[in-house]
Amino acid sequence: MRFILRKFGFLVLTVWVAITLNFIIPRLMPGNPAEAMMAKYAQQGPVPPQQERALELMLGLPTGSLWQQYWGYINNIIHGNFGVSYSFFPESVLSVILQAMPWTLILVGIVTILQFIVGTLLGVYAAWHRGKKFDSSATVLFSFTSAFPYFWIALALIYLLAFIAHWFPISGGYSGSLSPAFNLPFIESVVYHSILPAITIFITGIGGSLLGMRNNMINTLGEDYIFLARAEGLKSKTVAIRYAARNAMLPIVTNFAMSLGLVVGGSLLMETVFAYPGMGYLMSTAISNQDYPLLQTLFLFITISVLLANFAADMVSGILDPRVRKGAAR
């Protein structure tokens, strides 16, 4: 119980720090959103200077001292009011985020889980048969793929599979000629558009979980209890899964929880390259438009989900591993 309370107290404290940093950091940046919007227009051609003044009036830039702004900000967060987005003006930040969230959660979420399961299983297999054909080729191949930059592999896939071969669409989340609805053609289109982004995340992510699991597992395989289990004449499969893999999993679970938390933030580079309508792409455009309200809220969502995932991981390892609990109680 004390363990849980301690962890919870820590959670509350970090959330407060995150919220406060979230308030301060955007304000340290130079310029204001009207100027950022001007930047967007200026790339299309010269803009009349009066337009900047008009934009400032329209956006209603923050007034009052920083202190007042801070209290207003905390108060609004408590009431779930995140303000109006500058770049989607006059839409509210929350509605913009709620539109982007499902895309990311479903695509990045599913692929992350899948990539974790497949990677871990392959890692177990590679470690068990270490030094054999599969292990040596997989280790090399996946060290290779996990070193690929996201955007590079995404662009390569787009160029080869979409532009030259015409197997897949070049970008987007679904065909623009369909209205989002829960029907077969729309779902088909969504799946069709998500294949390349999914492959990108899968290829670049799987190496990490495979290699991590393999290395942990090889360490575990050297432990005395594995030796004992073998000496007792247990089946190889039982030793591998029930004894070695289970113990080797512990640090991986924490890692996995962290990456699940990060899923909320989307996969920034992948989504930007594919123009996939999720949180990552939203964030990258919010940055370039200096859309403070949107950015703050996005960071808040990401931070809180990472913290919650961490908290959950702490709880899980507390349950799985008595040493963690005892260490905390001491």
Partner 1 sequence: MKRYQVVGSVIATLGFAGLATVITTFGAANPGQKISDGARVASNLNSTLVVGVDNGSPTFTDNFNPYAPSNRTGTSYIYEPLFFVNNLNGKVTPWLATSYAWQGNKKLVVTIRKGVKWNDGQPFSAKDVAFTFNYLRKNPSLDSQGLWQVLSRVTVNGNKVEFTFKSSNVPTFYAIASTLIVPEHVWASISNPATKVITDPIGTGPYIVGNFTPEQYTLKKNPTYWQANKVKVNNVEFPVLGNNQTAALKLSSGQWDWATLFIPNVQKTYVAQDPANNKYWFPGGGIASLALNLKKVPFNNIAFRQALAYAINKQQIAQQAEDGYVSVGSQAGLILPGQKQWLNPALPNHGIYLYNLAKAKQILSKAGYKTNSQGKLLDKSGKPISFTIQVPAGWSDTIQTMQIIQSDLSKLGIDVQVTTPQYASYSQNMNTGQFEASLMFYGGTASPYTSYNTLLNSEYATPIGQNTTTNQERFSNSRVDQLLNNWRQATSQVAQRKDAYQIEAVMYNQIPVISLDQAATWSEYSTKKFIGWPSASNPYASPSPWGQSPLMILTHLVPRS
Q: At what angle do helices 246-263 and 93-128 cross, to 10 degrees?
A: 160
CB of 57 to partner 1, least distance (A): 4
Q: Is 222 in the site for partner 1 (CB under 8 A)?
A: no
> Which parts of 167-186 interact with partner 1 (CB under 8 A)?
167-180
CB of 102 to partner 1, least distance (A): 12
Rounded alpha-carbon distances, angstroms, from residue 221 to 22, 65, 80, 115, 228? 44, 61, 50, 23, 11
Q: Is 25 in the site for partner 1 (CB under 8 A)?
A: no
Which of 183, 168, 178 shows the shortest CA–CA distance to 274? 168
- Judged by beta carbon, residue 50 or residue 65, the one nearer partner 1 is 50
Q: Determine how many CB atoms are found less than 10 A away from the CB of residue 194.
A: 20
Binding mask 98-127 vs partner 1 (x if CB under 8 A, - otherwise)?
-xx---------------------------
- Residue-wise DSSP of 92-105: BHHHHHHHHHHHHH
Q: Is 147 in the site for partner 1 (CB under 8 A)?
A: no
Q: Determine how many CB atoms are found less than 10 A away from the CB of residue 241.
A: 14
Would you mind telling me the total number of residues written for the chain in this entry?
330
First to last CA, the chain: 13
Pick the binder of partner 1 from 155, 234, 262, 304 (CB under 8 A). Answer: 155
Interface size with partner 1, residues (CB under 8 A): 84
> Which parts of 261-280 interact with partner 1 (CB under 8 A)?
271-278
- Judged by beta carbon, residue 145 or residue 254, the one nearer partner 1 is 145
> Which parts of 35-64 interact with partner 1 (CB under 8 A)?
35-39, 42-46, 48-55, 57-59
